[in-house]
Amino acid sequence: EVQLVGSGGGLVQPGRSLRLSCVGSGFNFDDYAMHWVRQAPGRGLEWVSGIDWNSGAAGSAASLKGRFTISRDNAKKSLFLQMNSLTPEDTALYYCARDKRRTVGGNPFDLWGQGTLVTVSS
């Protein structure tokens, strides 16, 4: 089955770090750019970060001010998001999503994971 399965979410205190993971199966993981998209409770979708198929280029939302880092391990068919200096405003459901192409740009996200919930609270 073609799918993405995210993990690593949970309850974390403000100022701490958390690392999310996403594993792809049923397709050639290294043929696609990958992204993280988040959705705060009752809110819309917000692009977080994207990375090219070979990690050659990556980008993140400017609003994150460099606190989050995206990476991937194609051998393990895995995507990661290292989140530092977390604040309550980072509380959201974090989705991993597959890009239709190899490089990050205005391409559609044609496969989504189920989401992993991150709650930042003391």
The footprint of another protein (CB under 8 A) covers: 35, 37, 44-47, 50, 59-62, 95, 97, 100, 105-110, 112-115
Q: What is the dihedral of CA 114, 50, 55, 86, to 10 degrees?
A: -80
The span from the CA of 62 to the CA of 108, in Å, is 20
Min CB(65)–another protein separation in Å: 13
CB atoms near residue 15 (< 10 Å)? 11
* 6 vs 80, beta carbon nearer another protein: 6
* Structure-token pair, residue 77: 């068919």
* 66 vs 106, beta carbon nearer another protein: 106
In DSSP terms, which residues pair with 81 in a beta bridge? 20, 70
- Closest approach of Cβ 121 to another protein, in Å? 22
> 67 near 15, Cβ under 8 Å?
no
Least distance (Å) between residue 119 CB and another protein: 18
For another protein, give the closer residue by CB, 15 or 63: 63
Minimum CB distance to another protein, residue 67 (Å): 15
